[in-house]
């Protein structure tokens, strides 16, 4: 198991999580537990519904045209 950063997007929001994953030594593919995948889905839904009050803000993002 290795601790990795996972970027999740939902609507116009993005969240970064530190989670445990099995990482393939050949290709780098990450394998997450079922519990972790369910957590990802819940957080994506919260981001899409803009239920972000419990998340800590880390700056801002800006689209560059």
Q: Per residue of the chain (65 residues), what is the pLDDT tens digit?
A: 999 999 999 988 999 999 999 999 999 999 999 999 999 999 999 999 999 999 998 888 888 98
Q: What is the pTM of this model?
A: 0.83
Total of domains in the chain: 1
Give the ranges where 1-65 is alpha helix by DSSP (H): 34-48
Collect contacts of 34-42 with beta carbons under 8 A, ≥24 apart: 40/6, 40/8
Structural domain including 13 reads: 2-48
Report pLDDT for 32: 98
Per the domain annotation, does 63 fall within a domain? no
Per the domain annotation, does 55 fall within a domain? no
- What is d(CA 46, CA 32) in angstroms, rounded to the nearest whole number? 20
Per the domain annotation, does 62 fall within a domain? no
Instruction: Write b or e for each residue in 21-45: b if 16 or more Cβ atoms lie within 10 A of its Cβ, otherwise e.
Output: beeeeeeeeeebeeeeeebbeebbe
Per the domain annotation, does 6 fall within a domain? yes
Question: What token pair was written down for 3?
Answer: 């601790």
């Amino acid at each position: 198991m290795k601790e990795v950063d996972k970027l999740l997007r939902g609507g116009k929001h993005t969240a970064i999580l530190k989670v445990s994953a099995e990482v393939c030594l050949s290709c780098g593919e990450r394998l997450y537990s079922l519990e972790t995948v369910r957590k990802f889905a819940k957080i994506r839904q919260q981001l899409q519904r803009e239920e972000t009050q419990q998340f800590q803000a880390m700056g801002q993002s800006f689209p560059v045209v």
